[in-house]
Homo-oligomer: A and B are copies of this chain.
């Protein structure tokens, strides 16, 4: 094993964007449907995919099974151990110190940030999903002309709770990024709110979505944005983050913007990170879906022109703790592979490689989220 991999393996990661996992034992159907961004279709097992292969290869040994164990054995062993022990093993194996947990997506009953921290032996912070806040404001009842103020107040309440370090938007899912970048006027917001508050729809009005993005700016916390790859609710081409360019110009000098996932637009995201001071990126979610076999290639494209202080690590794991483990493993292995190769060809000096590894795995996130003082490093 190369020096870079050794160093990366010892970095206590900051997973700056992840979710909880289901608090129940899972039968095959339930496990398989969590294994894919699609669904479990008749005759097409999600195990027969890159992520399924990666689970059998890299997760089975942590359940005391041989590498590449068949799905049926994997699931049986998983049930025997029980979800709590399975979660504990995978989260501990990630070597993660700090989790920033998006608590706004929970179609299933899942673990809380505190549960994750306890199981992993680390610390958790919370990321507030703003679409959820807006939808709560509607549920609580509000007049159209009071919506903007009520949403701002509710968001402020949400982010002032202890442990909240960032906000998140899934505008990519709701409208895509080809929006008018300007802050909407009060009258526009009231008019849009009038239609939306009376509807049963989730927040997908273009005026209210950009109002939400501008409210994020007002809150002053780092803003995480889903970009690129997701489930079939997304229109992928509208989630290309370069559509945000005009908005990034208008909001320059305000809050850090963290582009999540990015694939297959990781080069486009790298461009934005290279030319906008406030832009950062990760390739979370992608890491476990492509698996360790391709994580290095995707990271290599993501880093083609990206300044080294702009890449962060996230797993974006949801539902099963296998994804926390695979994300961390794919990140360590993929980044080590790319850095070691450059060291071996003398394109990069070893001390620089080690610095980049540490920055991407940990220090960049501590810096963006201002966690440095809260989380003195133990090593």
Chain A interface residues toward B at CB < 8 A: 36-39, 41, 43-44, 46, 48-51, 53-54, 56-57, 67-68, 229, 231-232, 234-237, 240, 242-243, 245-246, 248-249, 263-264, 267-268, 271, 274-277, 289-294, 297-298, 300, 303-310, 342, 345-349, 352, 356, 367
Please judge, given known A-B contacts A41-B277, A242-B236, A307-B44, whether A348 and B293 are in contact too, CB under 8 Å.
yes
Please report the C-alpha to C-alpha distance between residue A68 and residue B267 in the assembled complex, in whole angstroms: 26
**Which 5 A/B pairs are nearest by Cβ-Cβ distance?**
A232-B275, A264-B267, A68-B349, A236-B242, A49-B307
**Taking the full assembly, how many copies of this chain does it contain?**
3
Please judge, given known A-B contacts A232-B276, A236-B271, whether A48 and B307 are in contact too, CB under 8 Å.
yes
Chain B residues with CB under 8 Å of A263's CB are: 267
Q: How many Å from the CB of A149 to the closest CB on chain B?
A: 33
Q: How many Å from the CB of A174 to the closest CB on chain B?
A: 14
Q: How many Å from the CB of A300 to the closest CB on chain B?
A: 7
Please report the C-alpha to C-alpha distance between residue A274 and residue B229 in the assembled complex, in whole angstroms: 10
**B274 pairs with A245, CB closer than 8 A:** no
Q: Which residue of B lies closest to A270 (CB)?
A: B264
Given A57-B346, A293-B348, 16 more pairs with CB closer than 8 A: A37-B275, A38-B307, A49-B307, A50-B304, A50-B305, A50-B306, A53-B352, A54-B347, A56-B349, A232-B275, A236-B245, A236-B268, A237-B268, A263-B267, A290-B304, A290-B305
Please report the C-alpha to C-alpha distance between residue A264 and residue B264 in the assembled complex, in whole angstroms: 11
